[in-house]
Amino acid sequence: MSFVIIILVVWFCSVAVWYLSQGAFRSADVDRIRQRLAGTTKAGGKKSEAPAVQRNLIHADDTRTGKITVRLLQKYEVHTKLQDLLDQAGLKWHVARLIHASLGFFIAGYVITWFLFELRSAALAIAAVSATLPFLYVLRKKSVRLFKFEEQFPESLEFVARSMRAGHAFSVSLEMLHREFQEPLSGEFRRTFEEHNLGLPLDTALLKLTKRVPLLDLQFFVSAVLLQRKTGGNLAEILDKLAYVIRERFKLRGKIRAISAHGRMTGTALTMIPLVVAVIMFYVNPYYSNFFFSDEVGHYMIAAAAGLQLIGYGIIQKIVSIEV
């Protein structure tokens, strides 16, 4: 009977999460169009009145589910940061979808821990950890996407330099990147070109690019372009030298990773040893190990051990992580 109740509760939570997030699915594209239109209404540092199309999109978005979540996030100034994070990860999500997914994981983790495993003292902690899974997924996607962008960036700079030497304008060279390169670089520069083509000043479009792709190399590129537009100079030569510097940084980073490989392997081994010992003890002496699952003090001990293990792993990763 209890198993049936668990299934019904999990099903109800899944349906509730789907219902809450469906509006965020539909309004993601609307929100992106609204942001692009908002960017084109800025001129000379002053924000003009939004056009009728933009006002209609805003009204349509407000009628979606997730409206309350978005307003709460905007009230506490979190909505913009989360939207920037989703843009950096390359996910076509609405902020409400991320929040609803986190809430769904929290409810599912709490229900499963409370009813299925009966770890009632640790249910809240496990549910809180489960709620962070959507954010960890977004951060992982962001890291992978930025790494791919950084790998393609030096070659794209040389391509722009060659294109400018052939007589193309700088903005046209940015548009050509979309046809010659793959995602994520092609999509980001295509979006920059479209924003400039729709009336946004090139300086503002490039600054928005650095916000979507927070890489130091890209900031150097944008700074060089903006400085060249104000003072003049050979931009193609500047881009070639910048591409050379970025490649040299890649070589130095590879050497550092080779040197710190021993420390990273040590951190992984020290993290896995307690887990392996715990699994062996559970099968060798179940009576001794059941204390951690059946007694409330054992629950606290498991939670403390897991927390200390994560802290130790984070410290080791911080030591062996060297920025170039």
Q: What is the mean pLDDT of residues 46-59?
A: 40
Buried/exposed 62-100: b ≥16 CB within 10 Å, e otherwise: eebbbeebbeebeeeeebeebbebbbbbbbebbbbbbbb
Q: What is the pLDDT of residue 258?
A: 84
Residue 49, token pair as written in the block? 């009145």
pLDDT band at 45 (very low <50, low <70, confident <90, very high): very low
Q: What is the mean pLDDT of residues 154-174?
A: 85
Cα 257 from Cα 262, distance rounded (Å): 9
pLDDT, greater one: 322 or 272: 272
Mean pLDDT of the chain: 76
